[in-house]
């Protein structure tokens, strides 16, 4: 029997990409799954994909940038399940106009409100229950850009992802006494729909050589299946064929 049997996992940004792959992997490991994302129809399809594998998943449409909505969603999960054991904070986006030469205040705010504030809202909402349980796992999906500043991702994304890594460390510093552990996963390029927002979209060949969502799903499951006395603080993971090192037409400073 999997160690995740009886566990409740809430995944934000779960409609596509890393979030959906993480939800699928945790479902396969035995956890009860709650999916959140902004697009109800996409979430419905994600829940159906999990159901097609023989597992169950609930879908709650949610904009993580709305702190009140995040709190209500957490309260609903707790009312229905009585607990939240795992939070995977995977909601994230970037904008086409991202370089200092073109970024707008509204675009900067949009990135930070989802990629950083949204994570904080979800964490803040689940912490009281996890403290009562004296147990809980928070997985924050950061980025290679959360460790290494790159021109490609822009100041808003770089700042939000660096802050997510710092926020994860602060969780482990303060909440380890309550049996709560947190992991920042920092992937290099992953072939997810966010690539459509790149100023220059990578080619199909380049996308095929990137990390794939299922690679991150396996990573999330690895962290979740560690015993409670083990805290995986951070994972830095990249494609072997790492364009950050090798370069590419779309990686040149603009």
Q: Which of 7, 93, 157, 219 is catalytic?
A: 157
**Token pair for 216:** 């991150």
DSSP 126: H
How far is residue 199's CA from residue 237's CA, in Å, rounded to a whole number? 23
Phi then psi for 250, rounded to 5 degrees? -85, -5
157 annotated active-site: yes
Residue 227's SS3 state is: coil
Going 163 to 169 to 174 to 175, the CA torsion angle's sign is positive
How far is residue 217's CA from residue 158's CA, in Å, rounded to a whole number? 23
Taking CA atoms, 170 is separated from 12, 125, 158, 175, in Å, by: 21, 16, 19, 8
Instruction: Please answer whether residues 188 and 145 qualify as being in contact, where contact means their C-beta atoms are separated by less than 8 angstroms.
Output: no
Q: From 151, 188, 186, select the one nearest 169 (Cα to Cα).
A: 186
Residues labelled as active-site residues: 157
């Amino acid at each position: 029997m999997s160690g995740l049997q009886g566990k409740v996992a809430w995944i934000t940004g779960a409609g596509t990409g890393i979030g959906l792959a993480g939800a699928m992997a945790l479902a396969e490991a035995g956890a009860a799954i709650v999916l959140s994302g902004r697009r109800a129809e996409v979430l419905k399809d994600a829940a159906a994909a999990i159901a097609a594998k023989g597992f169950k998943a609930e879908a709650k449409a949610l904009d993580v940038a709305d702190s009140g909505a995040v709190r209500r969603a957490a309260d609903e999960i707790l009312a229905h399940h009585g607990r939240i054991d795992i939070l995977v904070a995977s909601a994230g986006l970037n904008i086409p106009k991202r370089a200092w030469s073109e970024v707008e205040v509204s675009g900067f705010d949009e990135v930070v409100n989802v990629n950083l504030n949204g994570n904080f809202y979800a964490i803040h909402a689940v912490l009281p229950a996890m403290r009562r349980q004296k147990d809980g796992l928070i997985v924050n999906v950061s980025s290679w850009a959360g460790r290494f500043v790159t021109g490609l991702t822009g100041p808003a994304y770089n700042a939000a992802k660096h802050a997510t890594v710092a926020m994860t460390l602060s969780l482990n510093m303060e909440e380890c006494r309550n049996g709560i552990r947190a992991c920042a996963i920092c992937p290099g390029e992953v072939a997810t729909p966010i690539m459509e927002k790149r100023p220059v979209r990578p080619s199909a060949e380049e996308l095929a050589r990137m990390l794939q969502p299922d690679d991150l799903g396996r990573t999330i499951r690895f962290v979740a299946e560690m015993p409670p006395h083990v805290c995986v603080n951070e994972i830095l993971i990249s494609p072997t064929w790492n364009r950050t090192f090798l370069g590419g037409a779309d990686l040149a400073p603009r």
